[in-house]
Amino acid sequence: MPGTTVPTEDELKEALSTLRAENPTLGIPKLHALLSSTHPDWSVSEKRTRKVVQSAGLTVAPPGGSSASRTAYPKSSVIKDLDIAKWTTKVEVRNFGKEKGKGLVAKEEIGEGDVIWKEDPWVIGPEWEIYDLQRNGRACAFCTTPLNIDSRLIVNCPDSTSASFCPGRFCSRLCLQRSAVVHPLLCPSKNPASAPLLAFARSYQWMALQALAHCTAKILLANQQDEKVLENDWKLFSSFAELGMEDRMRDLRETSAGEEFDKAAWKKAHQLIVHAFKEPPLEANKKKLAKILKKPLPDDIDTKLFDYDATLHNLGRMSLNLESHGGLYTLHSHLNHSCAPNVSVRHLDQRSALARITVIARQTILPGQELTISYVNPELPLPARRRRLGDWGFGKCTCERCLKEEKELQEKEGEMTEKEREEKRQEDELAKELKEGLGVV
């Protein structure tokens, strides 16, 4: 007996999103049957289910993800109670299911060239060029904006003394105040134990490690403030999509042979994180750190920040979510990939707030359409784009452009003569044997 309650469009969408997330490959009739059994009081026709599934973009991904069984996909989770309205009213978060995770869709028509939102980073992990300017006191140690040396507003790090120097300088008092959420733990004067960690990240040009140092500092300092701040920061940090470095490296070995991966470097990075924020090896530095961190972290968060395995996962999480100029942005991190993206990200406020991003529509975006950026250089040809995405742990991209180019490629191969095909087969065979002989497969 079907139920009698007619759910609203939103209720139905929500229920179907959840079911789709748990059952990524079910066809619509089966999904409908599942809906009837999980919501026995509802009266919903299969036709209505189909309509909502299609309009909400919950249809099964096109076949062709043959690598899906092997490739690790990033895991992401939707942030509960995220107040998007503080950035924009034009988009909403949608859960596309287990494999694809979360994404952003337009709630209204967005015109070509429109600014969709502006966003300041949750954590800044600047590019090395800017990082070096900061370390020379020539860019703000908080917001990264290059300093106008003549400005009277500039303030030095108050903890810098001739005995223990910090090169940090800030645009203004405001930036200094804001920097209280991270700087104390990364300041070479206030927490000297952080210096070897940052120097190591710098020497390897390891952006993810630098960003993780910033995140760790931010979370530890949030804990010193109060529970609410910690809860909020932890919720944001743990919702960034993640992929463990081990997963990523395993895939790297399978996708692009010969890529170096360096366990020793991960071990060292982990040890330096522990030294910087938990157990400085020098007694004097231990005392300095204890002055900043008076309250211990809750055990579960402590484990998820300082365990070796957790560190690898967190590094993977940084790599996946860093904006191309460095920095982690809450809303921006929701954007999925397309090789023909419909939005672009710019740093327009170069003089006042360099780290602030502006997200702009590259074309008209209709209500219900997903907003996308490109994770790889879109100028690259199809095989190279796929390889890059594979390196990052993403499955085979099946965006419209990829499908079109794939078809063209197949047609071209179809036009080859018998002789050309045989030559190509022999070449492929030889390449395979060579690889095997070198032990790179």
Q: If DSSP codes are grouped into helix, strand and coil, which group holds residue 279?
A: coil
Which residues, numbered 400-429, are part of the site for Zn ion (CB under 5 A)?
402
Please, which residue, 268 or 401, has the CB nearer to Zn ion? 401
Reduced to 3 states (helix: H, G, I; strand: E, B; else coil), residue 137 is: coil
Residue 198 engages Zn ion in binding (rule: CB under 5 A) = no
Cβ nearer to Zn ion, comparing 400 with 428 = 400
CA 236, CA 226: separation in Å to the nearest integer? 16
Q: φ, ψ for residue 261 (rounded to 5)? A: -135, 145
Taking CB under 5 A as the criterion, the residue among 166, 176, 301, 360 binding Zn ion is 166
Nearer to Zn ion, 381 or 439 (CB): 381
Shortest Å distance, C-beta 42 to Zn ion: 37
State in angstroms the smallest separation of the CB of 137 from Zn ion. 11
- φ, ψ dihedrals at 372, nearest 5°: -135, 150
Burial-class residue 79 by CB neighbours within 10 Å (0-12, 13-18, 19+). Answer: buried
Shortest CB 383 distance to Zn ion, Å = 12
User: For residues 198 and 272, which CB has a smaller minimum distance to Zn ion in the complex?
Assistant: 198
State in angstroms the smallest separation of the CB of 432 from Zn ion: 26
Amino acid identity of residue 310, one-letter, is A
Read off the DSSP letter of residue 181: G
Nearer to Zn ion by Cβ, of 46 and 159: the residue is 159
SS3 label, residue 144: coil
89-148 residues in contact with Zn ion (CB under 5 A) are 140, 142-143
Question: Could you give the CA distance from residue 188 to residue 363 in angstroms, rounded to a whole number?
Answer: 46
**Helix residue ranges per DSSP H, 103-194:** 128-135, 173-178, 183-186
Q: What angle do CA 142, 148, 152 make, to 5 degrees?
A: 90
Give least dist CB 292 to Zn ion, A. Answer: 12
Dig out the tokens for 79 from the structure. 């942030």
Closest distance to Zn ion from the beta carbon of 156 (Å) = 8
Q: Which stretch binds Zn ion (CB under 5 A): 96-104, 181-189, 279-287, 291-299?
A: 181-189
**339 is a site residue for Zn ion (CB under 5 A):** yes
- The CB-of-403 to Zn ion minimum distance in angstroms stands at 8
Stretch that binds Zn ion, among 158-166, 309-317, 320-328, 344-352 (CB under 5 A): 158-166
User: Is residue 175 close enough to count as binding Zn ion by CB under 5 A?
Assistant: yes
Amino acid at 104: L
Contact call for residue 168 and Zn ion (CB under 5 A) = yes
Q: How far is the CB of 401 from Zn ion (least distance, A)?
A: 5
Residue 252 touches Zn ion, criterion: CB under 5 A: no
Q: Does 72 bind Zn ion (CB under 5 A)?
A: no
Q: Binding residue for Zn ion (CB under 5 A) from 157, 209, 312, 373?
A: 157
Cβ 126 to Zn ion shortest distance, Å: 12
* Order of all β-strands in the sheet with 343-346: 115-119, 357-361, 343-346
- Select from 19, 31, 53, 187 the one that contacts Zn ion (CB under 5 A): 187
Task: Tell me, rounded to whole angstroms, the distance of Cα 6 from its chain centroid.
Answer: 38
Tell me, what DSSP letter sits at residue 227?
H
Distances (CA, A) of 217 to 184, 193, 207, 210: 8, 12, 15, 11
Strand partners, 42: 5
Report the alpha-carbon distance of residue 394 to residue 396 in Å, rounded: 7
Binding part of the chain for Zn ion, among 123-131, 288-296, 332-340, 426-434 by CB under 5 A, reads: 332-340
Task: Quote the crossing angle between the two packed helices 263-277 and 308-321, to the nearest 10°.
Answer: 100
Measured from the CB atom, the residue of 11 and 405 that comes closer to Zn ion is 405
Region 257-316 residues binding Zn ion, contact defined as CB under 5 A = none
How far apart are alpha carbons 209 and 336 in whole angstroms?
Answer: 23
* Residue number, 64 or 298, with CB nearest to Zn ion: 64
Residue bearing tokens 């370390």: 135
User: Which of 213, 236, 276, 397 lies at the binding interface for Zn ion (CB under 5 A)?
Assistant: 397
Number of chain residues interacting with Zn ion (CB under 5 A): 14
Q: Look at residues 183, 166, 206, 200 and name the one whose alpha carbon lies nearest to residue 275.
A: 200
Looking at the Cβ atoms of 32 and 385, the one nearer to Zn ion is: 385
Q: Which residues bind Zn ion (CB under 5 A)?
A: 140, 142-143, 157, 159, 166, 168, 171, 175, 187, 339, 397, 399, 402
